[in-house]
C-alpha cells in the first residue's frame, strides 16, 4: 500500500487552518503536517484549553485529512543557537522571546519543546519534527583556526540541552525528528553521525529526512537513507536546484531566495535535481512506512500551482514494494 502524502503547513501559516485544510483536501492530499505557528497548532492552547485539541481534529476530519506529525522548527532553532539576536525575535512568540537575553530565550525555548512533546501526545501523534539550533554553526568556515575543544564543546552543549528535553519525549511516548539542515548541529552525513553519538544514539532522537538539503550541498541523498534508515522517523518531499555557472557557489553569496544569481535555490518538487524515485526506492528498502510530507518552497512559482503539482509527482514516483522477485517466474517447476 502506498504511503500517505501530506502537506507541511509551515509555508501556509498565513492561512487559517480550516481554509488550508479545505484547499489541501481539494488538491488531493491525504493529510497535513501541522506547524506549531500561525493558528495551525498552538502548543500553549493545546495544553491549557479544554477542547482545543479536539478542535484541530474536527477541522481535519471535516475534510477527510489525517495528521502524523507536528513541527516545531522555529522554537527548536533557539534551544542551542549562539548568537541569539533579532533573527530569532522575528520567529518567536513574545512569551518565549521575553526580554531577549540569550540564555533566557534558550531556556524558554527548551521548555516549549518539552511542552510540544506533551501536546503531541495529547493530540495523538508520535513524531515532532524540528530544528535544534547549534552553538558552533558560526565556526563553519574554520577560520580563525578553530580549536578542537570548541567543536567538542558544541556537541556537549547540544547534548546537555537536548537530553532533558528528550527525557520528556520518552515520558510521553513521542519521538523528535531533526531536519538535517545547514545551521543545525547536524547538517550533513558526518555531523549527523556525530550528533547521534553525542546523545548516545537514544531512540527518542531521530531524523526528519529532507533530501533537498543534502542535494544542494552536492551530496547524493540516497546513501544517507541506507546509513540512517533506522532513525528516519519522518520524511519531507522538498526540492532544490544547483545553478553553478562559475560565478556563484553553494554558500549562496548572501543573496536571498529567488535571486537568479544564487548558486542553489529551493524549487517545486520535480523541477530540481533531487532523485526522488531513487529516494523512494531507498526508503522502501529500509522499511520506512511513514508519510511523504511535501514541504513546498519556490519563490518563483505560485504555491497553488506548485502544491498539487508536487502531489502528482509523488503519486507518480512512489512505489509500492513488490512481494515477489520479477525473475521468480523464470524458475522451472520441473
Q: What is the pTM of this model?
A: 0.96
Q: Is the pLDDT of residue 325 over 90?
A: no
Q: What is the DSSP string of 257-325?
A: TT-TT-SEEEE-TTSSS--HHHHHHHHHHTT--S-EEE----TTS-HHHHHHHHHHHHHHH--PPPSS-
pLDDT reported for residue 2: 84
Beta bridge partners of 241: 265
CATH at 256: 3.20.20.150
| CB 260, CB 288: distance < 8 Å | no
pLDDT reported for residue 246: 94
Cell of residue 80, nine digits: 542551542
Q: How confident is the model at residue 154 (pLDDT cuts 50, 70, 90)?
A: very high
Calculate the alpha carbon distances from 235 to 9, 94, 198, 206, 246 in Å.
Answer: 14, 30, 23, 11, 33
168: left (phi over 0), alpha (psi -120 to 50) or beta: alpha
Q: Is the pLDDT of residue 323 over 80?
A: no
Q: How far apart are CA 114 and CA 117, in angstroms?
A: 5
Q: How far apart are CA 184 and CA 192, in angstroms?
A: 10
Q: How far apart are CA 203 and CA 201, in angstroms?
A: 6
The per-residue pLDDT for range 57-92, each reduced to its tens digit, is 999 999 999 999 999 999 999 999 999 999 999 999
Q: Domain range for residue 93?
A: 5-330
CB atoms < 10 A from the CB of 147, how many? 10
pLDDT reported for residue 156: 98
The per-residue pLDDT for range 178-207, each reduced to its tens digit, is 999 999 999 999 999 999 999 999 999 999
The domain total for the chain is: 1
Phi, psi of 292 (to 5 degrees): -105, 105
pLDDT reported for residue 46: 98
Q: Provide the percentage of residues in the chain whose pLDDT is more than 90.
A: 94
Contacts of 73 (CB under 8 A, 6+ apart): 10, 35, 129, 130, 131, 179
Amino acid at each position: 500500500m502506498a504511503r500517505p502524502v501530506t502537506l507541511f503547513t509551515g509555508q501556509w501559516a498565513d492561512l487559517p487552518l480550516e481554509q488550508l485544510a479545505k484547499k489541501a483536501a481539494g488538491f488531493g492530499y491525504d493529510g497535513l503536517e501541522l506547524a506549531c505557528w500561525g493558528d495551525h497548532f498552538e502548543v500553549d492552547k493545546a495544553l491549557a484549553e479544554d477542547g482545543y485539541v479536539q478542535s484541530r481534529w474536527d477541522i481535519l476530519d471535516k475534510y477527510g485529512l489525517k495528521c502524523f506529525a507536528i513541527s516545531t522548527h522555529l522554537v527548536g532553532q533557539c534551544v542551542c543557537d549562539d548568537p541569539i539576536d533579532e533573527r530569532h525575535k522575528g520567529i518567536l512568540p513574545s512569551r518565549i522571546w521575553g526580554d531577549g537575553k540569550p540564555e533566557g530565550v534558550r531556556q524558554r525555548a527548551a521548555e516549549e519543546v518539552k511542552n510540544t512533546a506533551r501536546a503531541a501526545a495529547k493530540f495523538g501523534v508520535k513524531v515532532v519534527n524540528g530544528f535544534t539550533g547549534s552553538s558552533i554553526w558560526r565556526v563553519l568556515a574554520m577560520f580563525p583556526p578553530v580549536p578542537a575543544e570548541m567543536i567538542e564543546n558544541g556537541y556537549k552543549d547540544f547534548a546537555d540541552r537536548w537530553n532533558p528535553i528528550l527525557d520528556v519525549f520518552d515520558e510521553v511516548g513521542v519521538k523528535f525528528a531533526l531536519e538535517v539542515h545547514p545551521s543545525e548541529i547536524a547538517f550533513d552525513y558526518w555531523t549527523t553521525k556525530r550528533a547521534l553519538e553525542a546523545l548516545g544514539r537514544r531512540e527518542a532522537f531521530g531524523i526528519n529526512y529532507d533530501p533537498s538539503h543534502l542535494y544542494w550541498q552536492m551530496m547524493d541523498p540516497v546513501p544517507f537513507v541506507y546509513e540512517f534508515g533506522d532513525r528516519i522517523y519522518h520524511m519531507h518531499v522538498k526540492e532544490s536546484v544547483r545553478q553553478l555557472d562559475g560565478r556563484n557557489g553553494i554558500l549562496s553569496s548572501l543573496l536571498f531566495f529567488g535571486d537568479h544569481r544564487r548558486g542553489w535555490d529551493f524549487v517545486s518538487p520535480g523541477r530540481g535535481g533531487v532523485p526522488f524515485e531513487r529516494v523512494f526506492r531507498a526508503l522502501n528498502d529500509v522499511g520506512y512506512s511513514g508519510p511523504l510530507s511535501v514541504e513546498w518552497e519556490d519563490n518563483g512559482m505560485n504555491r497553488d500551482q506548485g502544491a498539487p503539482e508536487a502531489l502528482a509527482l509523488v503519486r507518480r514516483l512512489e512505489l509500492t514494494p513488490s512481494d515477489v522477485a520479477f525473475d521468480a517466474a523464470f524458475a522451472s517447476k520441473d
